[in-house]
Structure 1
């Protein structure tokens, strides 16, 4: 009623029997459902999906050597590269040390939902979990029938009630800049800013970089982590 469409039309839209809603109807529904700009754009992409407009899924998870060299040159900042499924394709030494000993650290979704230790590692686990699920939906976009993605979602759904509940909310929000608190077994609590950078040469990949505030205890903790990493080589 608030969107100005009949209940019968809305039911047909939800059930997939109405395939061509107008932009005006989509905008009205987005307004009534209080979707933000990113979720509204996602709604339009789903509604107007055509075979010729689908984004191709990058099947080759190869990280450009230039990106690898760039990450390794950052001896002060943990950094890693992920794909649309949040598989970790590469990481620098500081990031490897930060996640050392954590099972499933090769995929950030599995780490968050299938490793009980993640509840202790992330100081605000719930916020991190919700943010990652929303990011996974945003990264998947209209390629939601990617077999590897479907397999991951099924695995997480079987293994985590928390994932099933959060996934069912259908939040869509790509991560760009966030603050994260982590508890490392050797350097203690670390609070960092997370930046997500797009790699234009591989559109399905994102470069994740952590940085602590200059002069903060967290910056010193990361410096200690770097010294530990160097001494173990």
Structure 2
């Protein structure tokens, strides 16, 4: 026996017979699907699938696991777990267009009025901002993608006081988060825009620095409230694999706290494509 085999057997027992895309007959002694039905759905032999369940085969390919996950209707988290049991790297599918942030997550962001919060997908597209983050990013023409904001929008050069440090960190973070999607069209389109629009981005990209963001400080300069230092944390979003929740916080009594207080009471008059949620 193996943990992967035990997991597959449990999921097979829980699978719905009514969802089968072909007729099934015969008396069932136990609930769920039969091994031959799962094997047929996944496009593998019954003998191979049986060996997986019995632990006599422990190294399935990613293609086989994907097929079994589809056959057993596994959730995103169950699919990741199956990959971990098989000691494989799981790559969640990158949608053709950025997906909206999970509603539970957006409600959480709304509860932090004193912090600027936004959600990044693996290509650093901004898929949600709370009201304070929207106000903070007002100098930018668009908040579609964080890397484009840094390199292609003139506001980036003044918004980030140490622009070269911010630019270097942004590219290293993009390498870390997008590397698993190297063959996707969305990634290629983004890189084409960035490399054609910024020679400095092209130079940093060829350096192949890979440093995911976790915690750091940045000095920002906003045209409405001046210069201030923020602490930021980038947190993995379990409900949206591959996404990051970025929180810009301010120390009590700091210039950043005063800046955030001023921004929070300003009217939201920005005309660019913000993804404000509150």
> TM-score category by the smaller chain?
0.7 to 0.9
Equivalent pair of 1:94/1:229 in contact (CA under 8 Å): no
Distance (whole Å) between structure 1 residues aligned to residue 162 and residue 257 of structure 2: 20
Distance (whole Å) between structure 2 residues aligned to residue 137 and residue 189 of structure 1: 29
Q: Is 1:65 aligned with 2:103?
A: yes
Q: In the TM superposition, what is the alpha-carbon distance from 1:169 to its structure 2 partner?
A: 0.3
RMSD: 2.0
Q: In the TM superposition, what is the alpha-carbon distance from 1:145 to its structure 2 partner?
A: 1.2
| Bigger radius of gyration | 2
Distance (whole Å) between structure 2 residues aligned to residue 212 and residue 190 of structure 1: 9
Q: Match for residue 89 of structure 1?
A: 127
Distance (whole Å) between structure 1 residues aligned to residue 139 and residue 160 of structure 2: 14
Equivalent pair of 1:57/1:146 in contact (CA under 8 Å): no
Q: In the TM superposition, what is the alpha-carbon distance from 1:143 to its structure 2 partner?
A: 2.0
Distance (whole Å) between structure 2 residues aligned to residue 165 and residue 58 of structure 1: 26
Q: Is 1:56 aligned with 2:92?
A: yes
Distance (whole Å) between structure 2 residues aligned to residue 106 and residue 229 of structure 1: 21
Q: Secondary structure at the match of 2:266?
A: helix
Q: Match for residue 224 of structure 1?
A: 262
Match of 2:148 among 106, 110, 115: 110
Q: Secondary structure at the match of 1:142?
A: helix
TM-score, length-scaled by structure 2: 0.62
Distance (whole Å) between structure 1 residues aligned to residue 204 and residue 182 of structure 2: 17
Match of 2:116 among 43, 60, 78: 78
Residues 168, 74 of structure 1: CA spacing in aligned structure 2 closer, same or farther, 3 A cutoff? same
Q: In the TM superposition, what is the alpha-carbon distance from 1:105 to its structure 2 partner?
A: 1.9
Q: Match for residue 67 of structure 2?
A: none
Q: Secondary structure at the match of 1:196?
A: strand
How many residue pairs were aligned? Answer: 184
Bigger shift: residues 205-214 or 56-65: 56-65
Q: How does 1:200-219 map to 2 (within 5 A)?
A: 200-219=238-257
Distance (whole Å) between structure 1 residues aligned to residue 231 and residue 267 of structure 2: 21
Equivalent pair of 1:54/1:142 in contact (CA under 8 Å): no
TM-score, length-scaled by structure 1: 0.74
Q: How does 1:112-151 map to 2 (within 5 A)?
A: 112-151=150-189
Distance (whole Å) between structure 2 residues aligned to residue 165 and residue 148 of structure 1: 21
Equivalent pair of 2:94/2:181 in contact (CA under 8 Å): no
